[in-house]
Amino acid sequence: MNWVFSPLWRLPWPTPALATWTLSWGLFALLRQSSPLGALAAAMALSAGAAWLWPGTTWRRGLIGAGFPLSLLASGLGQGLPPLAWALALAALALIYPLQSWRDAPMFPTPAHALDGLAEAAPLPARARVLDVGCGMGHGLQALRLALPAAQVEGIERSWPLALLTRVRGRFARVQQGDMWRLPWQGIELVYLFQRPETMARAWDKACAEMAPGSWLASLEFEVPGRAPDAVLRNVPGKPVWLYQVGGTRQAARAQSAGARADKFTKRGPC
């Protein structure tokens, strides 16, 4: 589905937002006479889908998704819609992205090359099982596959519509619907997550309790509090990937070449 919007995303900002709002209003106007409820649902789905697929910053994704419903309310045209229409729109949003998911982390996509160098920074056995917890639309799964082509890639997502869509988009991965905190992490050699700062201590505790010594926890952007990483990937500006080895004892290793920049990853080092 991402290929449908990819030409739009190459245009300079705010063109993607303006285009999404225009298309949503056009779809709403086209269907409004025959089916007001269907028109609202279709336009909301278009806005939400474009926001989810937008690869940019959070506030820009929010503007893309919120533009149509807010402008509809401001215009007064939404007053003619039955209350059931707004209730159904909110129910659809809750179904696609449950409230509990927001308590963990909103759905932010993993940059395509954020995990480059992962195989060297966190060596894994052949056919290792790697798990993306909270895999959303599958961007993290694709990054894991790119960085670890020999690994068995798996994912878990709380939202069943997103889990279903991700299964279709990423047939190379085993994706299941469920709670990342209830899923056992035993037998997983590397867990990847893009959570929030508040949940990182809980994730590290779970990794230490359930994962075997020598396995890895990889976190995009947010660090485990009070624990020095064993390695750091710095492929995307402002979005480092912090790597923690369960029971790890790896020591610091830095480039010695005079005048050279810092390594793509910097190792430091236990659980």
Q: Alpha carbon of 253 to those of 125, 200, 204, 207: distances in Å?
A: 22, 25, 23, 24
Preceding amide of 14 cis, omega within 30: yes
pLDDT reported for residue 8: 59
Distance from the Cα of residue 198 to its chain's centroid:
17
pLDDT tens per residue across span 223-262: 999 999 999 999 999 999 999 999 864 433 333 332 333 3
Q: What is the CATH number of domain 118-245?
A: 3.40.50.150
Residue ranges per structural domain of the chain: 2-96, 118-245
pLDDT tens per residue across span 71-128: 777 666 655 555 555 555 555 555 544 544 444 444 568 998 999 999 999 999 989 9
pLDDT tens per residue across span 33-68: 887 777 888 888 888 878 777 766 666 777 788 888
Residue 150, both tokens: 């020999």
Which one-letter amino acid corresponds to residue 99? L
Q: Which residues contact 97 (CB under 8 A, 6 or more apart)?
A: 107, 159, 162
